[in-house]
Homo-oligomer: A and B are copies of this chain.
Amino acid sequence: MRVEIWSDIACPWCYVGKARFEKALAAFPHRDDVEVVHRSFELDPGRAKGDAGPVIPMLAKKYGMSEAQAQAAEDNVGAQAAAEGLEYRNRGRDHGNTFDMHRLLHFAKEQGRQDQLVQIFYRANFAEERSVFTEGDERLVELAVEAGLDADAARKVLADPDAYAADVRADEREAAQLGASGVPFFVLDRKYGVSGAQPAEVFAQALAQAWGERSPLTLIDQGQGDADACGPDGCAVPQH
């Protein structure tokens, strides 16, 4: 079974929602048969690389609230993160463009290190004082290395803005096609969706339901029967 998680590193509910999903997954009897894939979704794709700003004034402006109210909202997210056992630095967090992080996450997928890197990016963005947006490529390279990736390879990905860009864009197009307008957005076997940082119980139910309804493929052959194919024992010898 495959679970695809659309999310953004800049999205606090994605950080919290992933922990809730993982709690449900850890208790799921068939967890070893569940493949989890990260999918890209940018909350702020129009922002320029390196352009970052503090979160509180941005929230205040966006919602027409005072900075004190915005801080209270951020404190509340922090409390919910803490309830999931996650570190959350609810003072001084900044926000910015995450495109390069998504490109690196696709590179990490190729290397079998995607889940490690997602978690490291979240922790760096939400729990550490240093910015992931303003310290240039080397900050991301450092985090990539922590996830087990090669520094030079990560550097090369970052230096080439086209590297893995098509993957990020494809994920974003798919999110729109699947009806996801916000994240986190969880898709189970392309059949069930879970939108938002739902409680772990909802993820548990979704996993059980999707697992119970796994269906084998329906083969279409229009009465032609076995067609010409090759397998480990060789290729069909044409009868035509």
Whether A221 and B198, one on each chain, are in contact in the complex, defined by CB atoms closer than 8 angstroms, is yes
CB distance from A52 to the nearest CB of B (A): 16
Could you tell me the distance between the alpha carbons of A163 and B181 in the complex, rounded to whole angstroms? 34
Q: Identify which of B185, B216, B227 contacts A197 (C-beta below 8 A).
A: B227
Q: Identify which of B107, B166, B182, B206 contacts A230 (C-beta below 8 A).
A: B182
Which residues of chain B have C-beta atoms less than 8 A from A197's C-beta?
227-229
Whether A227 and B198, one on each chain, are in contact in the complex, defined by CB atoms closer than 8 angstroms, is yes
What is the size category of the interface that chain A forms with chain B? Answer: 35 or more
Whether B192 and A230, one on each chain, are in contact in the complex, defined by CB atoms closer than 8 angstroms, is no
- Asked if A127 is an interface residue, CB under 8 A from chain B, the answer is no
Q: Mark A202-229, 1 if CB is under 8 A from B, else 0.
A: 1001100100000111111110101111
Q: Write the chain B residue with the least CB distance to A208.
A: B220
Contact segment of A8-16, A117-125, A136-144: A8-16
Which residues of chain B have C-beta atoms less than 8 A from A183's C-beta?
229-231
CB distance from A38 to the nearest CB of B (A): 14
Could you tell me the distance between the alpha carbons of A139 and B237 in the complex, rounded to whole angstroms? 30
Q: Write the chain B residue with the least CB distance to A186.
A: B220
Q: Give A residues with C-beta under 8 Å from B.
A: 8, 10-14, 16-17, 35, 43-44, 59, 62-63, 73, 76-77, 79-80, 106-107, 110-112, 162-164, 166-167, 170, 178-179, 181-185, 187, 189-199, 201-202, 205-206, 209, 215-222, 224, 226-238, 240
6 smallest CB-CB distances across A and B, nearest first, come from: A196-B227, A182-B231, A193-B217, A196-B229, A76-B238, A182-B229
